[in-house]
Amino acid sequence: MNTFKLGLALWLCLLLPVFLSAKVDIPLPPDSTHIPVFYADSTICHAWVSLPVSFGPDCPVASYTPSLQIDLDIQDLDQDGQITPVDVMADISNPEDYFLRQGEDTFFAGNFPIGQHVLYLHPSPACNDTAQLLFFSVLDTIAPKPQCKLFIEVQMESVPEIDINQDGQRDLAVLRVPAIDLLDERATDCTGQVASGEARKIVTDYSVNILGAPVDRTQDTLVLTCPGSTSLDAFPIVQVSAWDKQGNSSFCYSRLYVTGSVYERSCSYHPAAMSVEVSTTTGDDVPYVDIEFQGDLDTILTTNEDGFLYRQRTGLDSLIIRPTKNSNPAQGLTSFDLVLLQRHILGTRLLPDSYQVLAADVNRDERLSIRDAIEIRRVILGIQDTFMNNNSWRFFEENTSFAMPGSPWEEARQAESISINDPYGDVNIDFIGVKVGDLDNSALRAN
């Protein structure tokens, strides 16, 4: 026996347990690795199938010809969970044409369409053998190839400020783009959805999503709203995927051109500005204040010599903004500040302004006492070069309302930082700067 025949004999030994069954009641396992699989050509949607068939030495193919049946796309007709002879329905009129003889070997061969098929050889009375069910599958593994339009012009519609996409934001406008509107033409495929009169079928199952977003096969219409986490770009790129019945998919890209007054009014992106300005109660600019940002922007920026900071916003959702400055604690401190503080402590002349009270509380114990006066004097004399429990400046949101001017502690704590939660539009923030220990606001007058 030559090498070819030896290999063929081994192959038959492996396949016969699947092909032969005395009871002929083995179920059809569609995904079983024991069933021979062939892959269809994407043009004719058929595959060339070639399988060895076992016949007895004294039983030629002709003895089986009257009872041969080929069932294309076999079904469990009686729904008993098994493929048995009663489920076999002949689909080919001349099944004997699919048998080839090569020497002593017989092969079942031919072009077959996509599906799960079976060849049924009835037992031959003359050969005293068993029935044979020969299963084989032809699969489509080639994805359909959609063709997208390079771009399309679309317009948004106004909506009554409802949350269409359930993202927690009220939407002002909406854009709905069906996937089929983005196609130059519909794709065809061996296992598409609609018969076309040819071997290939028309694909009608498409999905669409913004480029980079997870692909959702069920999303056949793209819904975009604004505002969103960032304003809608005027030229978003979208991905359109075509799906066949076998689950194969491929995609193409298209670009939207969003136009119209609704978009311009509600969605067009103009970089929003963020500005911070710091001045004293007398209107003097406080220069070089560190502005600490916490949240979506985590950084420290510094105002210019005019106490002003400007930057463009970049899709910030939430921020906590807090100014700080701790340099030259003796700036603006004089003996007159001590006189004003002593009068307040003795009750002969109270400080009339909440910001003066906050400036006098140099040790931040939220009361004015001789301890504050002592620390101011020590800083003036140069005995200590910093305040023990305070920076040289404190800052409060402008227009803070103090219910009790002589006891502004609670409002002051809340006003030392500002929280921003609106991600849209310009943000303009003004802080009042208070020089610690400078009760008569003389720190910046010389500048």
pLDDT at 16 over 60: no
| Average model confidence (pLDDT) across the chain | 83
Q: Give the residue, 224 or 338, on which the prediction is more confident.
A: 338
256 neighbors 235 (Cβ within 8 angstroms): yes
| pLDDT the model gives residue 315 | 56
> Strand 132-139 and strand 37-39: pairing?
parallel
Lookup: tokens for 289: 């204040």
| pLDDT the model gives residue 435 | 94
pLDDT at 446 over 80: no
167-205 burial code (b ≥16 CB/10 A, e <16): eebebbbbbebebeebbeebbbbbbbeeeeeebbbbbeb
* Nearby residues of 52 by Cβ (< 8 Å), 6 or more positions away: 8, 11, 12, 15, 105, 106, 107, 108
pLDDT at 390 over 70: yes
* Nearby residues of 296 by Cβ (< 8 Å), 6 or more positions away: 315, 316, 317, 318, 319
257 neighbors 235 (Cβ within 8 angstroms): yes
Q: Which of 86-95, 100-109, 286-295 has the lowest mean pLDDT?
A: 100-109
| pLDDT the model gives residue 268 | 62
Q: Give the residue, 26 or 103, on which the prediction is more confident.
A: 103
Q: State the average pLDDT over residues 292-311.
A: 87
The domain segmentation of the chain, as residue ranges, is 3-139, 147-266, 273-435
| pLDDT the model gives residue 27 | 42
Q: Give the residue, 8 or 96, on which the prediction is more confident.
A: 96
Residue 70, Cβ density class (10 Å: 0-12 exposed, 13-18 middle, ≥19 buried): buried
Q: State the average pLDDT over residues 387-413.
A: 94
Q: pLDDT tens, 63-75?
A: 666 678 899 988 8
Residue 113, preceding peptide bond in cis (omega within 30° of 0): no
pLDDT at 296 over 80: no
| pLDDT the model gives residue 322 | 95
- Cα–Cα nearest to 254, from 156, 176, 147: 147
| pLDDT the model gives residue 160 | 77
- Cα–Cα nearest to 16, from 54, 43, 51: 54
| Amino acid in position 166 | Q
Residue 26, Cβ density class (10 Å: 0-12 exposed, 13-18 middle, ≥19 buried): middle
Q: State the average pLDDT over residues 81-109.
A: 84
Q: Which of 100-104, 184-188, 417-421 has the lowest mean pLDDT?
A: 100-104
d(CA 124, CA 121): 8
| pLDDT the model gives residue 57 | 65
d(CA 443, CA 447): 9
238 neighbors 208 (Cβ within 8 angstroms): yes
325 neighbors 392 (Cβ within 8 angstroms): yes
Q: pLDDT tens, 198-212?
A: 889 999 999 999 988
Residue with tokens 């992106």: 269
Question: What is the CATH architecture assignment of 273-435?
Answer: Orthogonal Bundle (1.10)
Q: State the average pLDDT over residues 219-234.
A: 73
pLDDT at 361 over 50: yes
Give the percent of the chain with pLDDT over 70. 82
pTM reported for the whole predicted model: 0.50
